Amino acid sequence: MGGNLSQLERTSASDLPPTENYLGLVNFGNTCYANSVLQALYFCLPFRKQVLDCYVEEKSPESILSAMADLYHQMKHSKRKFGTLQPRKFIWRLRKDNALFDNYQQQDAHEFLNFLLNHIADQLTEKKKSAGDGDSGQPQSTWIHDIFQGVLTNETQCLSCETVRSKDENFLDLSIDLEQNTSITQCLKMFSSSETLSTECKYYCEQCCSKQEATKRLRVKKLPKILALHLKRFKYMENIHRYVKLSYRVPFPWELKLFNTSCEVPDQMYDLIAVVIHCGSGPTRGHYITIVNSHNHWLSFDDEYVEEIPAHTIEQFYGLPEGQRGQVTECGYILFYQSRE
C-alpha cells in the first residue's frame, strides 16, 4: 500500500481535525516493525498523553522513553500537518539497548511491542524506586500498567469435591490462537474454553489430598483501558522446521465486548483504534503497516507514506477465505481496542 502525501493533503485537509498531524516515519532498513507500532501507539491517546508528559528539552541520560517522547513531541507539534519524520534517535537508542534489534533484519512487531511496554514500565519503576516512592519490596504500578494491564484468572475445579482454586496473572496484551473463518469473539471464546485434566494429567486437589480429574479455564478478571490483541499468525511446522504464516480470514469488529470475563467484571465496550498489519508470507520476509482511526477517519501508515482509506477497505485485512491461496497477504496482526468511558 503506497500513498501520495500531496494527494492526502489535497483531499483530506478540510475534513481532518486541525489539531492532529499525520506524519510518516522514514524506514532505516527493515524498521517497519517499529514504525508500525510507534504509529499505532501514537493514536492510543492515553498512551500518547503519558509519553508527551515525559518530554523535556534537555534529556540526560538518554533512554528509549525520552527518545520516544522526543519523537512524539515532533509528531504532535510539527508545523506540517503532512510529511515525514526521521525516527533516527529512537532507532539508535533501540539498537543500543537491545541486541535483538541491533541489525538490519526484519523483526517481529509483537516482540517489539512486548519489549517496548515492558522496558518503559521497568524504567518507570526504577525511577520510582530511586526517588523513594513506594515500597521497593512490592511490585510497582506505572502508567503503562494503568493503561494496558489486565488480569487473567486461571480457575481449576476438582470434579470430585467441586472445589475451585484460582490463580491470577497480569497481562499487557493477549495472544490468541486462530482458526479459519472464525471471528475475534470466537477466538476469545476458544482462549477461555474449558479443558479437562484427566489420566496422566490429573490435578492434585488439596481438599481431596489426591490427584483428581478436574477442569480448568482462563477468564478475564480485570479489563485494561486499552486492550492489545495479538493474533498468533505464525506457527512453527515441525516437518519443515520453520514458521509459516496463517493467513486465516478472521474478521475483527469495530466494536468489541468481551464475554469471557469473571462474574465480578462489569460489561465494557471497546472501540477499534489501530491495527498493525503484516504483509507477506513469513515472519522474517514480510512488511508491516498500520491503519488507525483518527476522529472517524481511517488512515494507512506505510513507513513514510500516509493515505486516507475508505472504511470498507478494512475488510481486505481480515485474511484469506478457506481455499484461497496467495503468497502475499495483508492480515491484521495486532489489534488495539480502547474502552469507552
Residues with a known catalytic role:
32, 287
Answer yes or no: are the C-beta atoms of 270 and 339 closer than 8 Å. Answer: yes
Among the listed residues 291, 287, 308, the one whose alpha carbon sits nearest the alpha carbon of residue 4:
308
The sign of the torsion formed by the CA atoms of 129, 130, 133, 136 equals positive
Contact 219, 261 (CB under 8 A): yes
Question: Closest Cα partner for 328 from 316, 314, 336?
Answer: 316
DSSP three-state, residue 176:
strand
- Distances 249 to 178, 187, 240, 284, 331 between C-alpha atoms, Å: 9, 12, 23, 21, 8
Please give the Cα distance from 43 to 147 (Å, whole number).
13
N-terminal to C-terminal alpha carbon distance within the chain: 34
Q: What are phi and psi of 124, to 5 degrees?
A: -65, -35
| Residue 59: CB atoms within 10 Å | 15
**Can you tell me the distance from the alpha carbon of 136 to that of 277, in angstroms, rounded to the nearest whole number?**
39
Give helix then strand counts, H and E, for the chain: 8, 18
